[in-house]
Amino acid sequence: MLTIGHRGAAGYEPENTLLSFRKAIDLKVDMIEFDVQLCKSGEAVVIHDYILNRTTNGHGFVADKTLVELLKLDAGKEQAIPTLQESLEVIGNKASVNIEFKCRSIAAELCRTLNYFTEKGILHLKNIVVSSFILDELLIIRELLPSVKIGLLFEELPEEFDAVASQLQAFSINLNFNFLSKDIVDRIHAKGYKVYAYTVNKQSDKERMETWGVDGIFTDFP
């Protein structure tokens, strides 16, 4: 079962920062998950919430700020909000990466960046999973990057999951572990997809996921 550092190693360092990614690498995670969205000037930035208040000393919406404005903020322990590019540079091929995008209209920017990094050899495409709850944008990713691994995110598995997942040629189904069961894991595996469960922070839950055959857990405490 893979250990996927959630927002880096969010239980130890400020989430979705380079410090958090470096900590996750030090802890030898298999994969690092982080969240991206577009800011006003068009760059992809790494932050979970749409509003700045919880994780930075700023206020208002990420989408209303330029990159220059965002870079002035403190995302914890004097860390700046990282860009997608900086994050990929730090992680490189030291761990696999799960990029979760949180907004629409980001597919082109994301694929352009991934193409650049894979062509330069900084990243191997096989080490990347792109995931989202936003199906229509995932479909654009699939068109632009036919060979990238796609993780389809749900809170709870819908009955018709395979119709959507097969259209996307999904690699994994990523689910809230609170809504998982052995039966659900088996149903997903029977269709040929991996199962990644979020966000598993207790040892007893981790052991249950392992018993059920879950392929990877997102955890704040890798």
For residue 218, the partner it binds in Ca ion, ligand G3P, none, with Cβ less than 5 to 8 A by kind, is ligand G3P
Q: Report if residue 127 touches ligand G3P, rule: CB under 6 A.
A: no
- Contacts of residue 106, Cβ cutoff 8 Å, sequence gap at least 6: 36, 37, 38, 44, 137
Say whether residue 100 binds Ca ion (CB under 5 A).
yes
Based on the shown chain and the rule CB under 5 A, indicate whether residue 35 belongs to the binding site for Ca ion: yes
The answer to the question of residue 15 lying near ligand G3P (CB under 6 A) is no
158 with 133: CB under 8 angstroms? no
Place of tokens 């949180």: 102
Catalytic site residue 124?
A: no
**How many residues sit close enough to ligand G3P to count as binding (CB under 6 A)?**
11
Give the span between the Cα atoms of 197 and 75, in whole angstroms.
Answer: 26
Interface residue with ligand G3P, options 21, 44, 48, 118 (CB under 6 A): 48
What are 1's two structure tokens?
A: 């079962």
Contact between 173 and 157 under an 8 Å Cβ cutoff? The reply is yes
Segment lying near Ca ion (by CB under 5 A), choices 94-102, 103-111, 119-127, 166-174: 94-102
Instruction: Please identify, using beta-carbon distances, which residue of 187 and 215 lies nearer to Ca ion.
Output: 215
Q: Find, among 109, 145, 100, the residue nearest to 125 by Cα.
A: 145
Q: Which residues bind ligand G3P (CB under 6 A)?
A: 6, 33, 35, 48, 100, 131, 153, 174, 198-199, 218
Active-site residue list: 6, 48
